[in-house]
Structure 1
Amino acid sequence: METANASRVLIIMPAWNEEEAVGNTVREVLATSGDFDVLVVNDGSTDATALVATKAGATVLQLPFNLGVGGAMRAGFKYARRFGYPQVIQIDADGQHDPKNIAEVLAGLQHADISIGARFADRGDYTVSGPRKWAMLVLAKVISSVAKTRLTDVTSGFRAGNDRAISQYLDHYPAEYLGDTIDSLVVALRSGCTVTQVPVEMRPRQGGTPSHNPMKAAIYLGRSVFALLFAFTRKRSVVPSNQPSFKAMSGE
């Protein structure tokens, strides 16, 4: 029987070929003052991501092949539920999410089920332009209306969830491109989860090569609109306001 971790937070870090950055990211998280456990979900990497993460102090969950961020996060949520973590937070393995902001994002869970670390909330100098910017503005406006609160960065992967959010994600967390951010958020909101955002500062990628270019930016615009429309066709989940504790679920 696994031991519950009711007083700890699980950091879920999806990683695909991030051997250059994942080690330092894990060490930075573990150096913070929080009661955090780090789970690196090795998403079918072909490099030394798993070895580097393990040496840095993370628990590594191996996926047999690349599933994408959505698939990796679903595996992380299952791990969190199995081992009794009441709160989770996603951190990018490339180091763009500053571990110093973890406590601030988690604090948002005091009054919401999902807390988003927002890049465009009057903090820091992170900017985007062109089609990506247009897409983000449209998405933020539409999803803000669903959430009934102002959101400026609905595609941020720097987000935390409580036990209720974990239950909703286990019922529905898509693996499609942008599904892990847009689709999952819309369905969570329509299923009764609440959301808030916390201003954070983004850092440059700590390793590897950025994937953005003009062509990909245009594709992003089209896919983001499709993801939003598709999200509204998804079934709503029925998530009770109070989930049973891990101890009750495990029969202890």
Structure 2
Amino acid sequence: MDHANQTGKIEKLCVLVCAFNESGHIGQVVRGIIEHQACEVVVVDDGSSDNTATLAEQAGARVLRNSENLGKGASLKRGFEHVCNQGFDAVVVVDGDGQHDPAEIGCFLDAYERTRIPVLVGNRMADTTGMPYIRRWTNRTMAWILNRLVRIYVADPPCGYRFYRTDVLPFIMSDLPRFAFEFDVLVHAALRHIRIDSVRVSTIYNRKRRSHVAPIRDAWLLLQVVRHHFLLSRRNPAFGSFPE
């Protein structure tokens, strides 16, 4: 950990994949990561009813199993606790549905080595060809909300393709469920003055695949995040900081 902070290089990297009923993609995702990056791959199987866990193990991943479907937030939290406990310098989060190009993991590592910025979020908004209109609108709306809430600009806040230096994870961990977790993490980072930047990644969508996102439920969760942090900022404007 200290070596990564002093040199800007990541010596021990984990790639974390959260997956729920992804038997059609998970093997290819894990093999693609291993092909492009020398690292440990950890898959959190979120109570899948198919053979996601078995296929992930056969492809070379270490698998952590949730006994039931707890949602992406709980899976990310479990994965983050694992990488912190195992002494990794950094973690790259990749979705298990094949919509992230494993070859672009190197883009996050290059960006970190150049900038030392400890939280990097994928940005698909530079080329939205193939992205459904509702997703483009959602991404831009969430970017606007985040900017208004904590005065930072992240072009693509819902993007799950991310890099975190592990020493910042305890300071930005969220207890919120499902997809609200990822937005809340960015809010926590901003409030603690942990630097955040974006890395351009490809826009890959499988229109035949059913999304795990539930628009009404997740919009309600997002509103709860915004309300919570708005009230907190009203009570305590100097919420806290993380020393660089």
> TM-score interval w.r.t. the shorter chain?
0.7 to 0.9
SS at match of 1:91: strand
Give yes or no for the alignment of 1:28 onto 2:26: no
Per the TM alignment, residue 149 of structure 1 is displaced from its structure 2 partner at its CA by 5.0
Q: CA deviation at 1:147?
A: 6.2
Contact 1:178 1:227 survives alignment (8 Å): no
Q: Deviations over 1:117-161 (max 9, x none)?
A: 1110x236242324x544422321232356655421011111110
The amino acid of 1:152's aligned partner reads: A
Tell me the CA shift for residue 44 of structure 1: 1.1
Q: Aligned residue for 1:152?
A: 155
71, 75, 79: which one aligns with 1:76: 79
Q: Identify the residue that residue 21 of structure 2 maps to in structure 1.
A: 17
1:21–1:95 Cα contact (<8 Å) kept: yes
The alignment yields a C-alpha RMSD, in angstroms, of 2.6
Q: Is the 8 A contact 2:127 2:203 kept in 1?
A: no
Q: Distance in 1 between matches of 2:132 and 2:66?
A: 32
In structure 2, C-alpha distance between the alignment counterparts of 1:104 and 1:143, rounded to whole Å: 24
State the SS of the aligned residue for 1:201: coil
Identity of aligned residues (%): 25
Alignment map for 1:1-252 (pairs within 5 Å): 7-32=11-36, 34-109=37-112, 110-120=115-125, 122-123=126-127, 125-130=129-134, 132-144=135-147, 150-169=153-172, 172-205=173-206, 209-211=209-211, 216-217=214-215, 220-233=218-231, 236=239, 239-241=242-244
Alpha carbons 2:13, 2:40 under 8 Å: kept? yes
Q: Is the 8 A contact 1:147 1:195 kept in 2?
A: no
* TM-score (normalised: structure 1): 0.79
Q: Structure 2 regions of 5+ residues with no counterpart?
A: 1-9, 234-238
Q: 1:137 is paired with a residue of what secondary structure? A: helix
Aligned-residue offset at 1:222: 4.7
Q: TM-score, normalised by structure 2?
A: 0.82
**AA paired with 2:79?**
G
Alignment gaps of 5+ in structure 1: 1-5, 242-252
| Distance (whole Å) between structure 1 residues aligned to residue 216 and residue 211 of structure 2 | 13
TM superposition shift of 1:50? 0.7
- 1:86 CA drift (Å): 0.9
SS at structure 1 position matched to 2:226: helix
**Could you say if the C-alpha distance between residues 164 and 144 of structure 1 is closer, same or farther in structure 2, counting changes exceeding 3 Å?**
farther
